[in-house]
Amino acid sequence: MKWQLWKISDLAGSIGATWSGSDIVIPDFFCVDSREVYPGSAFVAVRGANQDGHDYIIDALHRGATLIIAEKGRVPKGISFDGRAYIEVNDSVTDMARMASAYLKAVAPQEVVAITGSVGKTTTREIIKKCLERFPFAYGAERSFNTLIGCSLTILGMSSGTEVLILEMGTNKPGEIAEMVQYFPPTRAIITEVSSAHLEGLKSLEGVIAAKLEILQSSDIKTIFFNEDNRLLTQEILQYPGEYEKVGVGYIHGLYRIKEADFHIIDGLPRLKTVLLTPDGGAHEIYTGLWGTHASLSIAFALALCSELHFSLEEAIHGLETMSALPGRGVVMVLKNEAILIDDSYNANPSSMDASLTTLLDLPATGRKIAVLGSMKELGEDDTRLHEEVLKKALALDVLFLIGEEWKDPYLKLSDEERKRVACIADLKALGAGLLSRLHKGDLLLVKGSHIHRLDLVVSSLVGGNKNE
């Protein structure tokens, strides 16, 4: 229930923008893709690298949009806004962020939680939402909205009764997170982990850390939660200026420490046991359906946050009882031939590749261990070396399929004996169909790679789904 319902005039007035049509209450859903529009939602026309959202305004209206936000002079002539509204802006991205910032100040949640890191952002966000699901006024994005646009959409869609807002902040170049925290300053920040990711824009691990630490430029920051097992990250955080609480989380070090992380697949169902030690001397057992022991770190961050916010850990842990892996992030499925598929196809970087491969290698299996690995993107000058390191670990599997040009040089360095278990594949659809016939009862198959490879199509083919549009 909104305490104070903002209208179109409030939203436009917050940045001095011109509006027309009906002064309706602002919608509770904003999007930049007209295909996502449903009756009563808002469509923001954004100019992208490949497409211009202004070309889809008519489509958005046909789908039932009641609010259009577009740049000056870009709305098609002759459109009637009777019962609907139009806000005219100079720049859709910047002005949407300004409106979201004003709305955030008006709602004034008690806490704004921002999560960043090379891996685990989305999983951590969803775990926090689960932990707080009995708290009626916690809100976070439903998807990986971790850009300036994404954070703006999340904030504009929240209820004005929101007391805890959960944001995700990603980056692939310096300054992006700094810009986000300028508009949307968090009170609590979480840095899950930093590793070799987005090196094309951030150049080095030190560059990655510097970019993530931009989150501490928030004017409202009270607490930073960080992976204390990462010594370089810890060193930089301890030296970073500012008066705020520093809370370490980890398997080895940390105020909140993971004593045990144990993952098994039992009767085709994933089961992760996490034992978390807390500063008050407690030892809390948490059972979830998340993929891999590495997910225990996300659980620890979520519970550390809940504890520091004085939210009942018992309530939070209860909320996690039904927690399972997110789509494309370690979903375990039993195929019709009784092989087990692990769908980790959403994305990949060296750190997440290592974590998933470690989990797969540690699992007991009555059959073979197989992986379909798409290459990793945005690794800059370290591209070949990092792919070689992943491939070296993956060679411990029984069968390996590689997809992407980045694997070519590492593959050519393999011995003739090693190549007998490794294949470079180009046709994803053929791979999916052919792979299913070669799987047997008890086989474990991991599918993982950068999102650009669309390995979800392989998964769809294996499970007989209909995602390969």
Q: Domain residues of the chain, as ranges?
A: 8-92, 109-322, 331-463
* Predicted local confidence at residue 3, as pLDDT: 47
Average the pLDDT over 128-139 and give the result: 88
Strands 138-140 and 111-116: unpaired
Specify whether the CB–CB gap between 184 and 156 falls below 8 A: no
Average the pLDDT over 316-339 and give the result: 93
Strands 256-266 and 269-277: antiparallel
Q: How sure is the predictor about 323, in pLDDT bands with cuts at 50, 70 and 90?
A: very high
Specify whether the CB–CB gap between 376 and 406 falls below 8 A: yes
Percent of residues, the chain, with pLDDT higher than 70: 96
pLDDT 10s digits, 167-203 = 999 988 889 999 999 999 999 999 999 876 555 656 6
Q: What's the CA gap between 242 and 286, in Å, rounded?
A: 34
Q: What's the CA gap between 320 and 47, in Å, rounded?
A: 39
Specify whether the CB–CB gap between 65 and 31 falls below 8 A: no
Give the gyration radius of the chain's Cα atoms: 23
**286 beta partners:** 274
Phi and psi torsions of 318, nearest 5°: -60, -40
Place of tokens 């705020």: 244
Specify whether the CB–CB gap between 367 and 443 falls below 8 A: yes
Specify whether the CB–CB gap between 435 and 372 falls below 8 A: yes
CB atoms within 10 A of CB 53: 23
Q: How sure is the predictor about 466, in pLDDT bands with cuts at 50, 70 and 90?
A: very low
Specify whether the CB–CB gap between 392 and 411 falls below 8 A: no
Percent of residues, the chain, with pLDDT higher than 90: 77
Q: What's the CA gap between 212 and 186, in Å, rounded?
A: 13
In the predicted model, is pLDDT for residue 468 greater than 60? Answer: no
Q: What is the pTM (predicted TM-score) of this model? A: 0.91
* Predicted local confidence at residue 116, as pLDDT: 95
* Predicted local confidence at residue 465, as pLDDT: 42
Task: Tell me if residue 292 falls in helix, strand or coil.
Answer: coil
Q: Which two tokens stand for residue 355?
A: 């974590």
* Predicted local confidence at residue 48, as pLDDT: 86
| Comparison of pLDDT for 395 and 467, the residue scoring more | 395
Q: Which residues contact 454 (CB under 8 A, 6 or more apart)?
A: 428
Distances (CA, A) of 362 to 229, 355, 369, 411: 21, 11, 10, 24
In the predicted model, is pLDDT for residue 205 greater than 60? Answer: yes
Same topology between domain 8-92 and domain 331-463: no
Q: Which residues contact 342 (CB under 8 A, 6 or more apart)?
A: 291, 330, 331, 332, 356, 360, 444, 445, 446, 447
* Predicted local confidence at residue 37, as pLDDT: 97
In the predicted model, is pLDDT for residue 51 greater than 80? Answer: yes
151-160, 201-210, 216-225, range with the lowest pLDDT: 201-210
Average the pLDDT over 75-96 and give the result: 92
Phi and psi torsions of 257, nearest 5°: -125, 135
In the predicted model, is pLDDT for residue 358 greater than 90? Answer: yes
Strands 223-227 and 188-191: parallel
Specify whether the CB–CB gap between 111 and 187 falls below 8 A: yes
The chain-wide mean pLDDT, for the chain, equals 92
- The conformational region for residue 114 under phi > 0 = left, psi -120 to 50 = alpha, else beta, is beta
Q: For the domain covering 109-322, report its CATH number.
A: 3.40.1190.10
Q: What's the CA gap between 105 and 385, in Å, rounded?
A: 46
In the predicted model, is pLDDT for residue 148 greater than 70? Answer: yes
Q: For the domain covering 8-92, report its CATH number.
A: 3.40.1390.10
Task: Tell me if residue 342 falls in helix, strand or coil.
Answer: strand
Distances (CA, A) of 154 to 4, 34, 45, 57: 18, 16, 16, 21
* Predicted local confidence at residue 2, as pLDDT: 45
| Comparison of pLDDT for 3 and 350, the residue scoring more | 350
In the predicted model, is pLDDT for residue 93 greater than 50? Answer: yes
1-5, 398-402, 413-417, 452-456, range with the lowest pLDDT: 1-5
* Predicted local confidence at residue 25, as pLDDT: 94
Burial degree of 254 (CB within 10 A; 0-12, 13-18, 19+): buried
* Host H or E run for residue 130: helix 121-131
Fold of 331-463: Protein-Tyrosine Phosphatase; Chain A (3.90.190)
